[in-house]
Amino acid sequence: MTGEALRSEQLRKVYTTRGSPPVEALAGVSMEVRRGERVALLGRNGAGKTTFLRIASTLLRPTSGTIEVFGHDVARTPERVRPYIAVVPQEGKPFFHLTPREQVYTYLLARGLSRETAKSRTEEALGRMGLADFADRLAITLSGGQRQRTMVATVIATEAPLLFLDEPTIGMDPFARRAVWDTFRTLTTRGSTILLTTHYLDEAEALSHRLYIIEGGRVLQSGTAEQLKRSVGGTLKVALAGAAGMTESFESFGSVIDDGEHLSVIVSPERLSELMELALRAKVSVTVGPVTLEEAFLRVVGRSINED
Amino acid sequence: MRTESVASSRPFYGFRAFLWTEVLVQAHENLAMATSMVVQGVLLVFVWILDPALIGVALLGAILFSMFAMGQRVLNEAAYIRIDHKATDLYLAGPLSPEAYFLGMSTGILIVYLTPVVLLGVLAVEVVHFSLAVGALLLVLSAIVWLISASIGYVFSTFFRDNRAIWAYASLFFNIFGVLPPVFYPFDKFPEGLRSVVLLMPPSAAAAIVQHAIGATTISSGQLMLAATGLGVEVCAIFLFAIYWARRTVRES
């Protein structure tokens, strides 16, 4: 056993389909996840997040590079890795003809847990996911969000040492998402490690100890949410309504984002009053807020996370 | 690290638990269970109308056909879980072994859909009055036919990316192998030149052996040997291949 839960070195994946040109989904991804960490892979659709997760969870063969889970080579000895992991697959659904209680319980039995442990973990997971009232209804009668909560409950109940969660809160309402975040935090305090993909920036920031921003199959930047935000060049974002085209006037304060309608300036607190004076003289309305991961992502990737 | 969920990934690990999962899933499909005998029922009615003397042979054939048709259910279920539910990853990225997943699913389906087959068996006993030895032979042949068809069903399920394509091919495959050859009618009614071919098809090979055992057909010892050897080789080869394939296809290339 190593001190790391996961380590990858120059991991590459090229998809080849007959009649189509090869597609490089991962172009040499190196990363590490320490035990007890919650790490998020942040990226747009098609960035390579799911490909990385599927390779790490033994479900996809890499083209080259290495990846280890708890010191076991995922490519060469996947059967040694599987007992340590559990996966919420992207867009996965529970069995429609099982109830959430049956789904979680039978899944735990299939992983080798005793009936007693499976039973108590099932009840705990259902409670945590707010599914107690729906626990005995067939999944086919549940809403999309409730089904997704069932999938998450199934996996968190394993308390596996390493959990892979591919867009785990998709389709959930804000309350359910927060309940899921709390549960993930509890799991890592108990010793589990979590690697999740998301394109919810607030989720990545609220939940993860560290983030990897992925684009085009490459890790463009990594660090804590604070580090990533600081790399933008300031801690405040000043939105200037009606200042489109005035980029030059504000460039000296920091990086300027002009989306065609609004101008946003990333500025340090020390220079805020100076910028405000200039804006007021130019009769531009000003909104000041903290820099968010959105700006960090935009700076690193050059596009919004929701842009296809 | 919590260690109680850490188990070694051994061959057939988790078989019983996944079997139980599949039984629970299938047990909710009451309508599917009720309609699982439609094809056999219709063919039995045809035989009854055309030649009531052949109803015994047809009943035994219906049992073997029912076992063969379970492969189609395995195919549909495996593909449904993988393509529609995308839940195969949930189960296989864990200690549950791939062969336990395949065999657990197949056996779960068998258990749930066995009830109507048992009813056919009771009817067959009433109509044919066969000996205990023939009953045992029928049981063994039914198990072989089931294992072959479940293995074929699971392996085929991994080739498809769309369930709609499966409906067409699966129905074609299972009807050509299960209805067309002499399963519901005596082996010696089949064109002589093609008899060797149908003796290599699991349902008709099993049917020919059972029909011979109850004296309902004429079959040479060479043909009997071909049917028995064919079934033996097929069940070993296809089942072992399915296990290999289940392990291999856990990971996509």
All structural domains of chain A with their residue ranges: 4-228, 233-290
Torsion of CA A79, A84, A89, A92, to 10 degrees: 90
Residue of A59, A80, A89 with shortest CB distance to B250: A59
Mean pLDDT of B75-89: 92
A42 pLDDT more than 90: yes
How far apart, in whole angstroms, are the C-alpha atoms of residue A117 and residue A137?
22
**Interface residue of A53, A82, A167 to substitute, partner B, most B CBs within 10 Å:** A82
Average pLDDT along chain A: 90
Question: Does the distance separating the beta carbons of A97 and B25 come in below 8 Å?
Answer: yes
Q: Is the dihedral of CA A131, A134, A139, A140 positive or negative?
A: negative
User: By mean pLDDT, which of A10-19, A299-308, B11-20, B43-52 is the weakest?
Assistant: A299-308
pLDDT band at A267; cut points 50, 70, 90: confident
Sequence letter at residue A71 = G
Is residue B2 one of the residues assigned to a domain? Answer: no
Assess contact for A289 and A239: CB atoms under 8 A. Answer: yes
Q: Which of A150, A153, A158, A72 is nearest to A111 (CA)?
A: A158
- Quote the radius of gyration of chain B (alpha carbons, Å): 19
Q: What are the structure tokens assigned to A123, written together?
A: 């009840």
Write down the pTM of the prediction.
0.89
Assess contact for B56 and B138: CB atoms under 8 A. Answer: no
Higher pLDDT, A128 or A298: A128
Mean pLDDT of B178-196: 93
How far apart, in whole angstroms, are the C-alpha atoms of residue B16 and residue A196?
31
pLDDT band at B165; cut points 50, 70, 90: confident
Q: B30: nearest CA in chain A?
A: A97
**Containing H/E element for A8?**
strand A4-15
pLDDT band at A1; cut points 50, 70, 90: very low
Assess contact for A193 and A22: CB atoms under 8 A. Answer: no
Chain B residues lying within 8 Å of A109, measured CB to CB:
14, 17, 20-21
Q: A84: nearest CA in chain B?
A: B6
Assess contact for A236 and A268: CB atoms under 8 A. Answer: yes
Give residue-wise pLDDT tens across range A141-154. Answer: 999 999 999 999 99
Mean pLDDT of A242-262: 77
Q: So what's the pLDDT on residue A299?
A: 82
pLDDT band at B173; cut points 50, 70, 90: confident
Is residue B193 one of the residues assigned to a domain? Answer: yes
Q: How far is A58 from chain B (nearest CA, A)?
A: 6
**Which architecture does CATH list for A233-290?**
2-Layer Sandwich (3.30)
Is residue B125 one of the residues assigned to a domain? Answer: yes
The percentage of residues in chain B with a pLDDT greater than 90, rounded to a whole number, is: 77
Is residue B153 one of the residues assigned to a domain? Answer: yes
Higher pLDDT, B71 or B169: B71
Question: Does the distance separating the beta carbons of B96 and A84 come in below 8 Å?
Answer: no
Higher pLDDT, A250 or B112: B112
Tracing tokens 């050509």 back to the chain, one arrives at B176
Q: So what's the pLDDT on residue A2?
A: 52
Is residue B40 one of the residues assigned to a domain? Answer: yes
B2 pLDDT more than 50: no
Assess contact for B242 and B154: CB atoms under 8 A. Answer: yes
CATH number of A4-228: 3.40.50.300
Is residue B107 one of the residues assigned to a domain? Answer: yes
How far apart, in whole angstroms, are the C-alpha atoms of residue B165 and residue A249?
62
Mean pLDDT of A200-212: 92
Tracing tokens 């394509």 back to the chain, one arrives at B165
Is residue B215 one of the residues assigned to a domain? Answer: yes
Is residue B29 one of the residues assigned to a domain? Answer: yes
Domain count, chain B: 1
Report the alpha-carbon angle A263-A266-A270, nearest 5. 125
A38 pLDDT more than 60: yes
Instruction: Please provide residue B117's backbone torsions phi and psi, each rounded to the nearest 5 degrees.
Output: -65, -40
Residue B203, CB half-sphere, CA atoms under 13 Å: how many? 29
For the ranges A176-190, A220-234, A265-279, A291-305, the maximum mean pLDDT occurs at A176-190
Q: How far is A194 from chain B (nearest CA, A)?
A: 12
Instruction: Please provide residue B81's backbone torsions phi and psi, each rounded to the nearest 5 degrees.
Output: -65, -40
**Interface residue of B18, B19, B82, B85 to substitute, partner A, most A CBs within 10 Å:** B85
Q: What are the structure tokens assigned to A11, written together?
A: 């991991």
Q: What are the structure tokens assigned to A241, written together?
A: 């309504």
Using DSSP, state whether A39 is helix, strand or coil: strand
Q: What are the structure tokens assigned to A52, written together?
A: 């990385």
Q: So what's the pLDDT on residue A6?
A: 97
Average pLDDT along chain B: 91
Question: Does the distance separating the beta carbons of A112 and B91 come in below 8 Å?
Answer: no
User: By mean pLDDT, which of A125-134, B104-113, B158-167, B244-253 is the weakest?
Assistant: B158-167
User: By mean pLDDT, which of A14-18, A118-122, A156-160, B196-200 is the weakest?
Assistant: A14-18
Query: What's the start-to-end Cα distance of chain B, in Å?
Result: 32
The reply to whether B30 touches chain A by the CB within 8 Å rule is: no
Q: What are the structure tokens assigned to A150, written together?
A: 């069932």
Who contacts A50 (Cβ-Cβ below 8 Å, separation ≥6)?
A90, A166, A197
Show which of residues 46-85 on chain B sit within 8 Å of chain A, judged by CB atoms: 81, 84-85
Mean pLDDT of A234-250: 81
Mean pLDDT of A262-277: 86
Q: So what's the pLDDT on residue B4?
A: 40
Q: So what's the pLDDT on residue B9?
A: 58
Higher pLDDT, A29 or A244: A29
Q: Which of A108, A197, A207 is nearest to A160 (CA)?
A: A108
Structural domain including B46 reads 15-248
Q: So what's the pLDDT on residue B69?
A: 93
Q: So what's the pLDDT on residue B181?
A: 93
How far apart, in whole angstroms, are the C-alpha atoms of residue A217 and residue A72?
23
Give the single-character DSSP code of A140: G
Q: So what's the pLDDT on residue B1?
A: 44
